[in-house]
Structure 1
Amino acid sequence: MTTDHPVTTDNPAGAPIPLGTRVVVRYRLPAGYSHPMTDVIGDLVSLEPVVVVRTAEKKLVQISPSTVVALKALSARPIRIAEIRSLEHAAAAGWPGLEQAWIDGWFLRAGGGFTGRANSATPLGPRGTVGHPHDPDVRARLREWFAERGLPLRLLLPDRLVPTPEGWVPSGNRVQVMAADLDNVPLPPSVGPVVVSPEPDGDWLSLYRGGDLPEVAGAVLGAVVAGTLGFGRIGPPGARPVAIGRAAITDAPDGRRWIGLSAIEVAPEHRRRGVGTLLSGSLLGWGRELGATHAYVQIEGDNTASRELYSGLGFVDHHRYGYVTEPVG
């Protein structure tokens, strides 16, 4: 932050506190007040030219940097189980595979074996309606549905929704879901050099996963349930893009409209130049124009670079999920 009166931040890492972080700001009051200082708690919206905090009541408090005594990051507000379930509803609709079904409170997806999300069962039914996979009848119904499609029984288990069945085998890395209120995300005024199309073309697909894709990949990428897709790219048409990304806008049961970013890839020769941040911010701006109020990303494993990128845009950790497969025998 550039100012004659730098803000003191209580951040053990010594790095700037990312926008969107829940903070407490202590600042001096003008002469004549009964007490010299006061505090405000909320989400950090801006550090310059003034410090802006959005309170839980959605009130924007603007504070002159010269009056700030300290600014401290707080732990994120606890996430309720209902919020996890609701976000996962929106995410499942945004990456639904090619076939879907509801069985015993589980949302089943099949997508020809391409990606774990599109070929798994997630416990998204209302509380008390989800059958436990230890129940042999529930397990048999789930297994039969996937077996008919030539797939193993794989469960996608978000934090705190259903306990991991004993003896089931973890598969793949755990995934960190990060989320943001779009009011807290610094978005560009327009998409700028980013072009957003309703479907991916061959050049877009040539950059995604290095172009090494099964035949079913295009159909899985182009699927959405009751939502809108946008495929962003930076680079001239008719050439391999500099960067690509997929955005899915879907509604959650709690009334929030989410935009989920996925398939964000930057050509190797253009990495570490802010291209991924520009693309992500532009896609989020596109989503907000279409009514999205919140955003999420799903980061597999220990992807430090992606976590840093989205933390810088104001995303915070929401929950995690992992996969387990039915044991053999």
Structure 2
Amino acid sequence: MHRTETVELLCADAWPAVTEDKVGDWRLRAASGFTGRANSALAVGDPGLPVAEALDRVCEFAHAHDIPPVAQAVVGSANERAIEAAGWVPKTDHAAGHLVSVLVGPLGTGADGVSFLPEPSAAWWELAAGTTEPAPAQRHVLTTGEVGYAVAEITAGAVRAAVAGGLLHVSRLAVRPQHRRRGLARALMAATGEWAAGRGATECVLQVAVDNAPALALYEALGFREHHQYRYWVPACEDRSL
């Protein structure tokens, strides 16, 4: 099993921000506000500075890129404890859920009715990103790297698959409401597994908000288990309207 820090770094590689910098091992990321993961400091490893000073750097980077300062830290880690001690608080207003379960599981097999597109179509963008005209940051985050764009039954469902360091990172799994409860989510997961196995992946990882019970139930049925959790943190006095 991969170490927690390794999993977080590989997930970050599979979900690249538009702009990145570093403070020691920490990654500072910005992508015009598109997703928390691409617009936060990944606080894993040694920042090379006292954590309070590293958080000042996080704030400086965020303000320079017109995004609110946010730190992503593994729950229960030394970094998270130090971030809390520095006066930061959980970002409970994060739209997608500030507390996230990172799940690992086997690669799926036996896909049927799923195809991979050479590049994302308008229908794929609509399902995966909620728009047929993605902004530059959306294009960068979702299409950079070794990425596959799977669709089920033409455009009934879609998913993003990315391989980084032997891990398949799955995200943006979506099925149109009128096509749900037909096994398309399972078919998409199976297809991504077969696609990723051909590119050297041996295991799958994905991230789900802890309050997303339907998704957690699906992935548990597919053999996934929780590897760890992470949480988003913000300065207590920060103006969150930025």
**TM-score category, normalised to shorter length:** 0.7 to 0.9
Provide the residue aligned with 2:157 in structure 1.
243
Q: Residue 290 of structure 1 is aligned with which of 199, 217, 225?
A: 199
Superposition TM-score, scaled by structure 2 size: 0.86
1:272: Cα distance to partner? 1.4
List gaps (5 residues or longer) in structure 2: none
Query: Does the 8 Å CA contact 1:113/1:151 hold for their aligned counterparts?
Result: yes
Provide the residue aligned with 1:109 in structure 2.
29
Q: Go from structure 1 to structure 2 and tell me whether the alpha carbon gap of 1:198 and 1:130 turns closer, same or farther (over 3 Å shift).
A: farther
Q: Residue 115 of structure 2 is aligned with which of 189, 195, 212?
A: 195
Q: RCO (CA 8 Å, sep 6+): is it higher in 1 or 2?
A: 2
Computed over aligned residues only, the root mean square deviation of the Cα atoms, in angstroms, reads: 2.1
Query: Does the 8 Å CA contact 2:44/2:74 hold for their aligned counterparts?
Result: no
Q: Go from structure 1 to structure 2 and tell me whether the alpha carbon gap of 1:278 and 1:130 turns closer, same or farther (over 3 Å shift).
A: farther
Provide the residue aligned with 2:89 in structure 1.
169
Structure with the largest fraction of helix? 2
Q: Aligned partners of 1:131 and 1:141: how far apart in 2?
A: 10
Code of the aligned partner of 1:222: T
1:181: Cα distance to partner? 4.1
Secondary structure of residue in 2 paired with 1:249: strand
Code of the aligned partner of 1:247: A
Code of the aligned partner of 1:234: A
> What do the CA deviations read for 1:261-304 (whole angstroms, capped 9, x no partner)?
00000000011111101111111111011110111110013111
Provide the residue aligned with 1:218 in structure 2.
139
Code of the aligned partner of 2:152: I
Identical amino acids, percent of aligned pairs = 29
Provide the residue aligned with 1:8 in structure 2.
none
> What do the CA deviations read for 1:75-121 (whole angstroms, capped 9, x no partner)?
xxxx8xx7110100110001111111211321111111110000000
Query: Does the 8 Å CA contact 1:123/1:130 hold for their aligned counterparts?
Result: no
Q: Aligned partners of 2:47 and 2:89: how far apart in 1?
A: 24
Code of the aligned partner of 1:88: E
Superposition TM-score, scaled by structure 1 size: 0.64
Query: Does the 8 Å CA contact 1:265/1:276 hold for their aligned counterparts?
Result: yes
Q: Aligned partners of 1:235 and 1:325: how far apart in 2?
A: 42
Q: Go from structure 1 to structure 2 and tell me whether the alpha carbon gap of 1:196 and 1:116 turns closer, same or farther (over 3 Å shift).
A: same
Query: Does the 8 Å CA contact 1:114/1:214 hold for their aligned counterparts?
Result: no
Query: Does the 8 Å CA contact 2:158/2:188 hold for their aligned counterparts?
Result: yes
1:165: Cα distance to partner? 2.0
Provide the residue aligned with 1:229 in structure 2.
147
> What do the CA deviations read for 1:178-220 (whole angstroms, capped 9, x no partner)?
10244xx5x11xx432111343221111123543876232232
Q: Residue 94 of structure 1 is aligned with which of 14, 19, 28?
A: 14
- Confirm whether residue 179 of structure 1 aligns to residue 100 of structure 2: no
Query: Does the 8 Å CA contact 2:21/2:29 hold for their aligned counterparts?
Result: yes
Query: Does the 8 Å CA contact 2:14/2:163 hold for their aligned counterparts?
Result: yes
Q: Aligned partners of 1:322 and 1:141: how far apart in 2?
A: 19
Give the number of the structure whose alpha-carbon radius of gyration is greater: 1
Provide the residue aligned with 1:35 in structure 2.
none
Code of the aligned partner of 2:67: L
- Confirm whether residue 119 of structure 1 aligns to residue 39 of structure 2: yes
Q: Go from structure 1 to structure 2 and tell me whether the alpha carbon gap of 1:181 and 1:204 turns closer, same or farther (over 3 Å shift).
A: closer
Query: Does the 8 Å CA contact 1:133/1:165 hold for their aligned counterparts?
Result: no
Question: Segments of 4+ in structure 1 off by > 3 A?
Answer: 128-133
Query: Does the 8 Å CA contact 1:123/1:157 hold for their aligned counterparts?
Result: yes
Code of the aligned partner of 1:175: V
- Confirm whether residue 159 of structure 1 aligns to residue 84 of structure 2: no
Q: Aligned partners of 2:20 and 2:129: how far apart in 1?
A: 25
Q: Go from structure 1 to structure 2 and tell me whether the alpha carbon gap of 1:147 and 1:233 turns closer, same or farther (over 3 Å shift).
A: same
Q: Aligned partners of 1:229 and 1:209: how far apart in 2?
A: 15
1:129: Cα distance to partner? 4.9
1:132: Cα distance to partner? 4.2
Number of matched pairs: 228
